[in-house]
Amino acid sequence: MVRKCVVAGHFYPAERSALERELQRLVPPVSERRKVLGLLAPHAGYVYSGSCAGQGYARVELSETVIVLGVNHRGAGAALAIDGHDHWETPLGKVEVNSELRARLLDASPLFRADNEAGRLEHSLEVQVPFIQHGRPGARILPIAVAATRLDDLQAAGREIAALFRGNASLMMVASSDMSHYIAAVRARELDNLAIERMLRLDEEGLYRIVREKRISMCGMAPAVIMLRAAREAGATGAELVCYTNSGEVSGDMDEVVGYASLVVY
């Protein structure tokens, strides 16, 4: 069973050679890549956030399996939905879903559910997949769509994912998130810095509470909370901001921007 791409031609090029050229442009060459536990990456159209995402992907040594934690924008399906397809397809070809890791998580978890509906139309998951294919051909993925909102559930989900890292050295996470939405660039940076500061401290509870308190429209806060908690449980010691920008840098409209950040957790 194959999950076909649904936002190719909208969020990123639909033709293979054009997508390959775009990824080569967006992911800069670096002298050294770092093994990490997690990466926060934006998920808007590549024209807006692709460069910021690409800078993040350029800094990491992608693992054999990448757990992709995306936002369930539509609210369909389970609150913590593990995709049940065998493969995801993009213009670059098919990517295998790690069915063994999926089964291990489902068997051990009272929270996660196998669910194809949650991610069927979800761009926050799909736009990450070509970056993974480009960075490590042959890598497998485990897509998870997150609609859960309670802090206790998100932290518990993080602990359950952290258990997968025990005895598995070739595993990492990508938390898919944009930052503030449709506010002035200056205000977006102020608010987004509050969230970024908590992420740099590996403080998932602080991130959750500041986003709620300040009403920061960070759509992927929940995936980021799960990723941070799992990374801490798996032994993370630090984080680094790779990129922060906004859509106005492309559109020229600084009055209503969407913020984007790439951040690595190691």
Q: What is the pLDDT of residues 236-253, one digit of tens each?
A: 999 999 999 999 999 999
Which band of pLDDT confidence, cut at 50, 70 and 90, is reported for residue 95?
very high
Q: What CA–CA distances, in Å, run from 257 to 58, 101, 220, 221, 251?
A: 25, 38, 16, 18, 9
**Distance from the Cα of residue 255 to its chain's centroid:** 26
Question: In this model, does residue 9 exceed pLDDT 90?
Answer: yes
Q: What are phi and psi of 250, to 5 degrees?
A: -100, -50
In this prediction, residue 254 carries a pLDDT of 98
* Mean pLDDT for all residues in the chain: 97
In this prediction, residue 219 carries a pLDDT of 98
In this prediction, residue 155 carries a pLDDT of 98
Question: In this model, does residue 261 exceed pLDDT 90?
Answer: yes
In this prediction, residue 169 carries a pLDDT of 84
Contacts of 73 (CB under 8 A, 6+ apart): 122, 123, 124, 219
The domain of 22 spans 2-265
| 248 and 182 Cβ atoms separated by less than 8 Å | no
pLDDT in tens, 181-202: 999 999 999 999 999 999 999 9
Please tell me the total count of domains within the chain.
Answer: 1
Question: In this model, does residue 215 exceed pLDDT 90?
Answer: yes
Coil vs helix vs strand at 210: helix
pLDDT in tens, 80-91: 999 999 999 999
Question: In this model, does residue 206 exceed pLDDT 90?
Answer: yes
Q: Six-digit token pair at 179?
A: 């930052």
Which band of pLDDT confidence, cut at 50, 70 and 90, is reported for residue 146?
very high
We report the CATH number of the domain holding residue 182 as: 3.40.830.10
Which band of pLDDT confidence, cut at 50, 70 and 90, is reported for residue 97?
very high
Q: What CA–CA distances, in Å, run from 27 to 23, 131, 233?
A: 6, 8, 29
In this prediction, residue 167 carries a pLDDT of 87
